[in-house]
Chain A
């Protein structure tokens, strides 16, 4: 939790009770977003008029004695891969420059129905492919704690704007760590929900078998509230489970007495000391709060990482085939139809997307690539089975979200070094399990966090553990690029 920041819950409750106006809240957030953008480069665009109109309708509902919903008047930023009707949606790519989404994503409709005010859109790694938000076609995003460092990725724009105090809530997406890494690097709470918990309709697909949508916020209970708004069935997304959504805000109050927490120490491998220290301190705090802690014998996630970087590019190469200059976005004309395809995609995709599309094309080819793909699929099942067995012995697993804290911009140019950033997040991605990243503290002025993985559809245990960690951790002093009152 970042000290001095107002929570989404407090804002919504003030608007619902008429103590604050949604319009004034929106204007304040708009000014802070502009300020945060000048220092972080995180904002893709603002929707001033749309947001003010939405805020006025929230205020009018309150004036009529109606309840606008659990996020009444809360300013929200969306990652730029979530469709919002009539708004640009570039996915951080030149290929979608000029594209405006023709419909609202399911989560966007849910936010509107809950009274949230959609104020802007945040930059991201191109098509969500990256761990640092350095592959965005409009330049890298900077970390509010230290602008010479990355905010994590791929939802780094969303994270930077929340960490800078501009808005209390942003949505991101997570395929191999894209919510959990920015949460860890920016001192935020980020939930990657169970695969199937939140509809992906209107999320531009990267790797459909692991893509998910979740919140980036400053407090665990805000995360519970926003996740509760996002989750639930959607008849127009066949991959969205028809399951009841528990009261996660209530789960935050349950404590951890009686919960068992497993630690796969083999995952710590080459993690820096600040990261392992945070994990040990969080474990001690959980034990003091009544949880039992034990080691679980899971192997280092090397196989998971290798499998992910075969399977995700394979799915990406198929999903991104639709970006051919015919139906959306940017088009380059060069002679015949094939020239149009190859030139549009060659100029539209940046280097990382191009690498992954070619890797995916290779592993989906007959012969050697096919053997690699089949073996990656087997490895995925082995990872899922291993996690499933561990989660029969314990209620949750506690691990670091990343082996390091936020690293300096431009220092992981080797793709393999960048991919290694995801080594602790890809296992839950491959297995479809929920995982929640929560800050523990600061080390040398940089946030360091932990993450809680639970059984499928047991986000409630993630929230119980995360709330206990938040209660035990010292509030973080605001970051250097803080835009709200109370700057350190």
Chain B
């Protein structure tokens, strides 16, 4: 398996993490090394097992009502009681 600069650009796009062009080479080499080392897993003969969701039996997930104000207060930008965001669709696309 070979990690290319394009692979890293694609992963960065999927993960929504901006990566500067000058960082691409080093990051590509790092990912190549790390994934290359992980590939030893593919050579191991391992029996199929059901997915593990938790090492202990999970308790019932109890929902509760909370005061939203302290949670909203952590947001970088609010408009009344809503998280404020820039447009999801760029201005030019909206006008078309």
Contacts and interface: CB of A to CB of B under 8 A. Distances in A.
A11 to B, nearest CB: 33
A303 to B, nearest CB: 6
B32 to A, nearest CB: 11
A306 interface: yes
Given A195-B56, A326-B75, A355-B27, A377 B17 contact: no
Nearest to B72: A327
A333 B44 contact: no
A362 B35 contact: yes
Contacts of A335: 86, 90
Interface stretch (A97-105, A168-176, A461-469): A97-105
Nearest to A361: B15
A485 interface: no
A272 B40 CA distance: 25
A242 B62 CA distance: 14
B87 A336 contact: yes
A209 to B, nearest CB: 7
B74 to A, nearest CB: 5
A346 B41 contact: no
Contacts of B55: 195-196, 209, 384, 431-432, 456
Contacts of A240: 59
A362 B61 contact: no
Interface in A353-385: 354-355, 357-363, 365, 368, 371-372, 375-382, 384
Given A238-B61, A327-B83, A328-B74, A346 B19 contact: yes
A345 B11 CA distance: 13
A319 to B, nearest CB: 13
Contacts of A347: 18
A347 B16 CA distance: 11
Contact of B31 (A102, A242, A359): A359
A363 to B, nearest CB: 8
B57 interface: yes
A209 B51 CA distance: 12
Contacts of A331: 76-77
Interface bin, chain A: 35 or more
Nearest to B91: A336
Interface string B29-51: 01101110111111010111101
Highest count of chain A CB atoms <10 Å: which of B14, B54, B76, B87:
B76
Contacts of A238: 58-62
Interface in A293-337: 302-303, 306-307, 309-310, 317, 324-331, 333, 335-337
Contacts of A382: 46-47
B52 interface: yes
B56 A432 contact: yes
A215 to B, nearest CB: 21
A200 B78 CA distance: 29
B86 A339 contact: yes
Given A102-B71, A196-B56, A333-B86, A310 B14 contact: no
Contacts of A389: none
A75 B28 CA distance: 45
Interface in A416-444: 416, 419, 431-432
Contact of A354 (B27, B61, B85): B27
A242 B46 contact: no
14 contacts: A194-B56, A235-B62, A236-B64, A238-B60, A238-B61, A241-B57, A302-B40, A330-B76, A335-B90, A336-B90, A342-B17, A362-B31, A377-B52, A381-B46
